[in-house]
Structure 1
Amino acid sequence: MTEQQLREQLVEIGASLFDRGFSVGSAGNLSVRTRDGFLMTPTNSSLGRLTADSLAELDHGWNHVGGPRPSKEVVMHRALYEVRPEAQAVVHLHSTYVTAVSCLAEEGPVIPALTPYFVMRVGREVPMVPYFRPGSAEVDVELRAAARQGPAVVLANHGSIVAGESLEAASNAAEELEVSAQLAFLVRDRSVRPLTEAQIQELLD
């Protein structure tokens, strides 16, 4: 894609996520890799009201080189791109059910592997990193360690961050993570039948 096409796609996907309730107000942020560096949603911007010519521009060294100031959570995006060099885009959301899961004081998998689509889009399981103030650089070490396990990470008392091979793929994975968290809530007081290890491995292979 050209940079202009990436700009337009970022605006379109941001609006779609916002319109369907995956982000509210100015919560959440998106980024995509370009030939010259990265495009990112500006600080305090709504995913539902972005424009193609008003995105933050960063170079390969994550220096702000054009457009409005990038989201204060740029440190999280940088961590995922650097740990997962195949990533072409990153989606960070405060979607309702993932955020609810991130507030639970429970042990075990944050979101169980109940469906094949969960495994195919986000992996075997999703790690959770401890709470850090939004925008804090202190999340870097914990987030990098978690991102080495898979493309999706739950942020305690915060939301999710997901990397993908394209902006569309990252968005699809973030949406699958939210739906999987909703399923986990719906069945959490019942006896469930998660995918077996053999079934998970077959999907990963």
Structure 2
Amino acid sequence: MLTPQEARTQLQDAGRYMMAHGLAWGNAGNISARTGEDRYMITASGTFLGELEDGDLVECDFRGGRLRPEDKKPSKELPMHRAVYELRPEVNAVLHASPFYATMVACSDLELKSDWFVETMYYLERVERVPYRHPGSEALGDAVAAHARKANILLLEHHGVLVYDTSVREARMALQTLEMACRMLVTAGAAGVKLRSLEPPIVEDFLHNAGYKPRRKWES
């Protein structure tokens, strides 16, 4: 868990990284980090992730309110960030963005598999689709809540993606892995290349024994 200043610094770094690597564009997207059991730091409404200043990050509690009334208005996507933090106490960072290839997959019926290579097996072990709900709505927060315990990667249909993990760094790496895998999926399809999956016993052996981290536990 981060202090408010640590959260600001790491989110500013993440925003610059996302912009520099094509994981975000314009003022689309919002990112947050947990700063307490019932609070988190989130980008303000309409901010540009590549140039976040301290005042562009607003600390909120689970009731949805700013801790300091004089701060800027937080992102309207509070409901889905809050849903993840409430349901996943081990999660310390949530990234919402609309990277090109991942958003293309979220707007299609393409199936994204996680059994292609090492990083997809680990970071994309479970990917869930969330039906479209209007951005910023409580309905979207409820839809995210219904899937939050099932995966760390959510494809928000006709919207973008939501990625969360135990740290800003891990969430950022998962987001980049997701975009790379979606780019492979789309590019391979256009080129007529069939991507081969690893056999399920090999995937299970990797997840249990590779030693990256303890195996995650998911709701079915």
TM, length-normalised to structure 1 = 0.91
Tell me, what secondary structure is at the counterpart of 1:157? coil
Aligned partner of 1:170 in structure 2 is 171
Q: How far did residue 16 of structure 1 move?
A: 1.3
Partner-residue secondary structure (3-state), 2:127? coil
Percent identical pairs in the alignment equals 32
Match of 1:57 in 2: 59
Q: Which amino acid aligns with 2:195?
A: V
Structure 1 position 162, deviation (Å): 0.9
Q: TM-score, normalised by structure 2?
A: 0.85
Is 1:196 the equivalent of 2:192? no
Structure 1 stretch 67-76 or stretch 57-66: which is displaced more? 57-66
Bigger shift: residues 173-182 or 49-58: 49-58
Q: Could you tell me which residue of structure 1 aligns to residue 212 of structure 2?
A: none
CA distance in 2, matches of 1:127, 1:92: 14
Match of 2:154 in 1: 153
Deviates more, 1:1-10 or 1:90-99: 1-10
Distance 2:139 2:34 in 1: 24
From the superposition, tell whether residues 165 and 62 of structure 1 become closer, same or farther in structure 2 (CA, over 3 Å).
same
Alignment gaps of 5+ in structure 1: none
Superimposed CA distance per residue, residues 142-167 of structure 1 (whole angstroms, 9 cap, x where no aligned partner): 32222221111000011110111011
- Partners of 1:119 and 1:145 lie apart in 2 by 23
- Per-residue CA deviation, residues 51-89 of structure 1 (Å, 9 max, x unaligned), is 124311102433222321111111111111122211001
Count residues with an aligned counterpart: 202
Are 1:116 and 1:200, in contact at CA under 8 Å, matched by a contact in 2?
A: no
In structure 2, what is the Cα distance between the partners aligned to 1:111 and 1:139? Answer: 24
Counterpart pick for 2:115 among 105, 108, 113: 113
d(CA) in 2 for partners of 1:61 and 1:202? 42
Instruction: State the distance in 2 between where 1:2 and 1:143 align.
Output: 26
The root-mean-square deviation of aligned C-alpha atoms, in Å, is 1.7
Q: Which amino acid aligns with 2:119?
A: Y
Indicate conservation of the 8 Å contact 2:114/2:124, yes or no: no
Q: What does 1:27-66 align with in structure 2 at a 5 Å threshold?
A: 27-35=28-36, 37-66=39-68
- In 2, distance between residues paired with 1:62 and 1:77? 10
* Native 8 Å contact 1:11 1:50 kept in 2: yes
Bigger Cα displacement from structure 2, 48-57 vs 128-137: 48-57
- Distance (Å, rounded) in 2 between the aligned partners of 1:111 and 1:74: 29
Q: Which runs of 5+ in 2 are unaligned?
A: 209-220
Partner of 2:78: 74
Letter in 2 for 1:77: H
Q: Is the CA contact (8 Å cut-off) linking 1:38 and 1:59 kept in structure 2?
A: yes
- Does structure 1 conserve the Cα–Cα contact (< 8 Å) formed by 2:47 and 2:56? no
Give the aligned residue type for 1:24.
W
**Residue 67 of structure 2 aligns to a residue in which SS?**
strand
Shift of 1:126: 0.9
Give the letter for the 2:207 counterpart: L
Summarize deviations over 1:92-131 as a string: whole Å, max 9, x none.
110000000011134xx334532220121131x3111111
Q: Secondary structure at the match of 2:56?
A: coil
CA distance in 2, matches of 1:135, 1:54: 18
Amino acid in the other structure paired with 2:85: Y
